Amino acid sequence: MLSLKHLSMVLTTFVFSLVALIGCGAQNEIEVNGKKVESVKLEGKVVISASISKVGENMSDIKEPHGEYTQENTDVLRTFVDAINRAEKLAGIVDVATPHYQFTLTFENKTSAQYFLWLGDDHGSLMHAEDTHYLYTLPEDLLKDLDEYVQ
């Protein structure tokens, strides 16, 4: 039979564990327009916005952003993060045509990351602007949404 002291320790541990779990869940939520929504994260950093720019004649010719999505657009931000996380690296060094778009993710800690994006009817590719030696293919199920969001 459990002693009162042992039972007290078990209950205390349970309560602290429950509070910790609830607290961790709350850290994944943000408030947008008075509603709590799950934050979108990339590599542990909270994404606060995504901006879309067309690319001109070369990778240095980035036009002014024509699209901007904020935390109010959780589904859109999640699609861009899913594209990054699920893209598959192509083997070898690549020589590519000028990308169609550049998108920039801005994080809560005031840093940002830029990606080049190529979209076709049945294929898409992604490249991190800081690492242009590697190209990644995009999952087909994201192409339609990405195409809609970058227009």
pLDDT tens across 22-78, in order? Answer: 344 345 776 666 767 789 999 999 999 999 999 999 888 999 999 999 999 999 999
Specify the amino acid at residue 89.
Answer: K
pLDDT of residue 103: 96
Residues 79-91 pLDDT 10s = 999 999 999 999 8
Q: Would you list the domain boundaries of the chain?
A: 1-38, 40-150
Task: Among 4-8, 26-30, 96-100, 135-139, name the most confident range.
Answer: 135-139
Could you tell me how far CA 35 lies from the centroid of its own chain?
20
Average pLDDT, the chain: 83
Which residues is 116 bridged to in the sheet?
102, 127
Q: Sign (positive/negative) of CA torsion 56, 78, 96, 135?
A: positive
CA distances from 42 to 11, 54, 76, 121 (A): 36, 23, 14, 27
pLDDT at 19: 38
Q: What pLDDT was estimated at residue 44?
A: 94
What pLDDT is recorded for position 21?
39
Residues making up the chain, counted from first to last: 151
Helices (H) and strands (E) in the chain, counts: 3, 10
- The per-residue pLDDT for 61 is 93
CATH level 3 topology of 40-150: Immunoglobulin-like (2.60.40)
